[in-house]
Amino acid sequence: MLNLLDYSYNEIEKIIAEMGEKFFRAKQLYSALQNYKKADEISNLSKSFLSELSKTYTFCPLQIFKKFVGKDGTVKYLYKLDDGNLIEGVLMSYKYGNTICVSTQVGCRMGCKFCASTLNGLVRNLTAGEILAQVLCVNKDLGGTYENRKITNIVLMGSGEPLDNYDNVVKFIRLVSSEKGINISQRNISLSTCGLVDKINKLADENLQITLTISLHAPNDDIRKQTMPIANKYGIKEVINATKNYFNKTKRRIVFEYALISGVNDSFECAEQLAYLVKGMSCHINLIPLNEVKERGLVGTTRKKAYAFMNKLAQLNVSATVRRTMGEDIEGACGQLRAKVLNNKI
Ligand code: SAH
């Protein structure tokens, strides 16, 4: 079956035309889809038309399977896809709006040692419509519509490596930022990657305004290779050069994620090397004490030490902040919730 959310407005117009339906039906159908309505919830289209559509297409490709609300208000969603696979997402509320963290793959094949998403490898890529569905479904859950949206920001930081599912992810970004749809500004979308250099360079030429976030997690190749297998394919200098290219083409400030792991990458010497690596760049470093993943045996740096690391970077004129950890009580880190469910712990 094909899913209607995989199509742009223009493509929906074509589908409608091919079915011999009136032109304005396209707008009615597209609005209903953007409000995440199932066929039986759509009242302004005829039953016969909807049942004809349903022969070829599905409407809502995922459902909320479980929902956990943390003490700090962070909500963790577990969704079930049509094929039974589970993916997860997190909703974080800030003063300026609501940010949703979306998954791009079921599982992941990158193998980062600290990350729960990759524990069972890659199951499959998500389609553009399945990524979009996470945004539309939670927007609806918050009482929003596509015209009066409750979701204001998106981070592609859930399970999966977005650039390992390149075409679907780029299509998703265009769909979610389309004026005909929920129309979330590309400037409010961050894509996080472990550093697939060839794809970063390709992304730089897509003419998008999204923020590129790099999961750096080390100041040199030796340390990076200890936790991130991708470092064996692309050296840290290549990654930095690709981000410089992205900045030159898009003028968007680069963000580096740096998870502080006790005794691995949190020394002052590491801070100095890191400062040297990004010297002169328009960038910001997000420090986050590692969210411990028991299966991996790696421990987060204390918050006190994280602030000392930040201050060292500040002395060296590098912009950095220690990120609030959100949703720790509800397995907020990437892939942790799905891992628990797969292990029958919930
Ligand atoms: N694959 C992409 C996006 C998904 S992960 C990437 O690598 O960027 C989103 C972020 O969470 C990444 O920076 C990732 O390295 C980080 N992360 C994963 N597990 C973590 C953990 N246990 N503690 C802190 N950050 C973690």
Ligand 1 pocket (Cβ < 6 Å) reads 112, 114-115, 157, 161, 192-194, 215, 257, 259, 288, 290-291, 293, 333-334
Q: Whose CA is nearest to atom 13 of ligand 1?
A: 215
Given a cut of 80, is residue 74 above it in pLDDT? yes
* Contact status, residue 193 vs residue 163, Cβ threshold 8 Å: yes
What backbone phi and psi angles, to 5 degrees, belong to 75?
-115, 130
Ligand 1 centroid to Cα of residue 165, in Å, is 16
* CA dist list (Å): 170 to 9, 162, 211, 221: 16, 9, 13, 29
Neighbours of 93 (CB within 10 A): 15
> CA 33, CA 57: separation in Å to the nearest integer?
12
Q: In this structure, what token pair is assigned to residue 158?
A: 């859930």
108 is catalytic: no
How does pLDDT run across 201-236, given as a tens digit for each residue?
Answer: 999 999 999 999 999 999 999 999 999 999 999 999
How does pLDDT run across 309-337, given as a tens digit for each residue?
Answer: 999 999 999 999 998 765 566 555 555 55
Taking the CA of residue 156 as reference, the ligand 1 atom at the shortest distance is 3
What pTM did the predictor assign?
0.94
Neighbours of 104 (CB within 10 A): 28
Q: In this structure, what token pair is assigned to residue 14?
A: 């074509």
> CA 27, CA 30: separation in Å to the nearest integer?
5
The β-bridge relationship of strands 97-101 and 105-107 is: unpaired
